[in-house]
Amino acid sequence: MDPRAGTLAREEDLIDVDAVVGAYYDLHPDVDDPAQKVVFGTSGHRGASLDHAFNEDHIVATTQAIVEYRRGQGTDGPLYIGRDTHALSLPAWQSALEVLAASGVTVMIDARDSYTPTPAVSQAILLHNGATSSDGVRTSGPGLADGIVVTPSHNPPRDGGFKYNPPHGGPAGSEATGWIADRANEILRSGVGQVKRVSLDEALAADTTHRHDFMSSYVDDLASVLDLDAIRSSGVRIGADPLGGASVEYWGAIAERYDLDLTVVNPQVDPRWAFMTLDWDAKIRMDCSSPYAMASLVEKMTGEGTSDVFDVATGNDADSDRHGIVTPDAGLMNPNHFLAVAIRYLYSGARPGWPDAAAIGKTLVSSSLISRVGASLGREVVEVPVGFKWFVPGLLDASVGFGGEESAGASFLRKDGRVWTTDKDGILLALLASEIIATTGKSPSKHHAELVSEFGESWYARVDAPATLDEKATLAKLSPEQVTATSLAGEEITAKLTEAPGNGAKIGGLKVTTENAWFAARPSGTENVYKIYGESFVSADHLKTVQAEAKDVVSAALGG
């Protein structure tokens, strides 16, 4: 960890916005360099213009590929497009609109010419496709909507991102993203000059370009998924920090619409993020699950003489699909802890309109505390690979009531059991913390303390280990038979998983479990390392042993 972690950014930490934006237009990728190609991870294509990895060529090619993909799928309804506050988001949004308009795609842009959180785009797609109908959301057939969100999420200010949401409203699956990336790279190789475009002025004035009030639609609909009356009547004092992201105007609108005691702690929008405290590695990163990135908000809640300012404070990342929960008694909650608290609350009578069989969705690297809570509730816990896309089918048909990731991303059903969003919703989860306080009289952190008393304390962490490209490829394709170890940190191994038990999908790595601990190892998509997630219900020292032995287990499986 860098010694400057948690301290305010200095001038030398800030990007040169003009240089970043200039590079978007002036630099061109070398498609023979894998680092400069279009590559869709779990949340779209991301990269930096200065690294030749997120330039206008990438966006023109990717947008054209999306035009062709949606045409091939028969998706001929409107495309909802939003963007966050990163410096590269507006240029990429403009480039995409020029291609979409030239192809005659009906496009819905923000009525305020402003920022649009990821969950607002998901909600708009679902509403168009029938989320308010008792017949359910359509995901195939004519007239369906889809969407694009221009965002690299919590990534540093120099980065850009571009993700596609098909008619189901959630992150596109690998079949779609693989096709789009392959086609985009073909276009890059043959030259983006072949792609039809119009000028930005022509695109904005096109008959196919329409304005949509994303914010009013989203804010007005929140009452269908949250008990906002309880929050208002209880007088819960809320401090909301958008961290300079797309939710900045939404929080004020929510406070006004529902008459909440809500203060927007920091309304600043700055593409350099000069007001941020540095993350663990001294980079500016809008990670609302990081105590270092959230240091300013934590200080407002827990510093001397400040703990009575708010009952709860919340943070969001740049596209508002993640949440951070800060309480006066505990500071920033571990994301796993809040997920477990949210699940216990929602499934313990707070949502009587949900289906009795609605399962709990968790990623396989989320805390086993969730599994223990689910068992106590008599609910099925569906464990899926990393990536929110795996929760989409269950949220659509209400077979899953809540889906959450260890990285502070989650969504859940409306009060009547219909789908709300099929992408992560950080605003929703932040407001749920206030609902929990309003209806129970206790902070989420106090609820977590009760869970610890009932199920035991756990220690959870992620570490990285070096790996070559060949080793990462081998790890992603491991079979359980390649793991020869029979014990882990003094306990018998109870399972060796390379497929998620909830849906049988490949996890792209390995998970090993014992009675009181587990680890999961996955190759990084961007660095020559693999990630080791681990948890122990024994002690912090036991977790360290789990992590150390995990490296040995993986090394042996890789033939090391």
Backbone angles phi, psi at 399, to 5 degrees: -75, -20
In angstroms, the Cα distances linking 222 to 115, 218, 360, 424 are: 18, 6, 21, 15
Token couple for 43: 């949340």
**Residue partners of 18: CB distance under 8 A and separation at least 6:** none
Residue bearing tokens 């030749």 = 52
Task: Respond yes or no: is residue 153 known to be catalytic.
Answer: yes
Query: In the chain, what is the straight-line distance between the N-terminal and C-terminal CA atoms, in Å?
Result: 28
**Residue partners of 261: CB distance under 8 A and separation at least 6:** 235, 236, 237, 238
Q: Centre a 10 Å sphere on the Cβ of residue 68 and count the other Cβ atoms it contains.
A: 16
What is the Cα–Cα distance from 468 to 131, expressed in whole angstroms?
45
Nearest to 292 by CA among 447, 154, 459: 154
Residue 158 β-bridge partners? none
Residue bearing tokens 């795609």 = 105
What is the Cα–Cα distance from 175 to 392, expressed in whole angstroms?
15
Sheet holding 495-499, edge to edge: 459-466, 529-536, 517-523, 506-513, 495-499
H or E element, residue 521: strand 517-523
Burial track 128-149 (b if 16+ CB lie within 10 A, e otherwise): bbbbeeeeebbbeeeebbbbbb
- 364, 511 contact by CB (below 8 A): yes
**Residue partners of 421: CB distance under 8 A and separation at least 6:** 119, 122, 123, 126, 169, 170, 395, 411, 428
Helices (H) and strands (E) in the chain, counts: 17, 23
- Beta strands 40-41 and 79-83, pairing class: unpaired
Residue bearing tokens 């098909």 = 166
Token couple for 366: 């989320």
What is the Cα–Cα distance from 332 to 223, expressed in whole angstroms?
26
Collapsing DSSP to helix, strand or coil, 437 comes out as helix
In angstroms, the Cα distances linking 245 to 151, 214, 240, 317, 480 are: 10, 16, 12, 6, 42
What is the Cα–Cα distance from 78 to 177, expressed in whole angstroms?
19
* Active-site entry in 49, 89, 153, 434: 153
Residue bearing tokens 């960890």 = 1
DSSP string, 106-135: -EEEETTSS---HHHHHHHHHHHTTTTSTT
H or E element, residue 241: strand 238-241
DSSP 8-state secondary structure symbol assigned to residue 29: -
Residue 498: half-sphere exposure toward Cβ, Cα within 13 Å? 15
- Could you give the residue numbers annotated as active site? 153
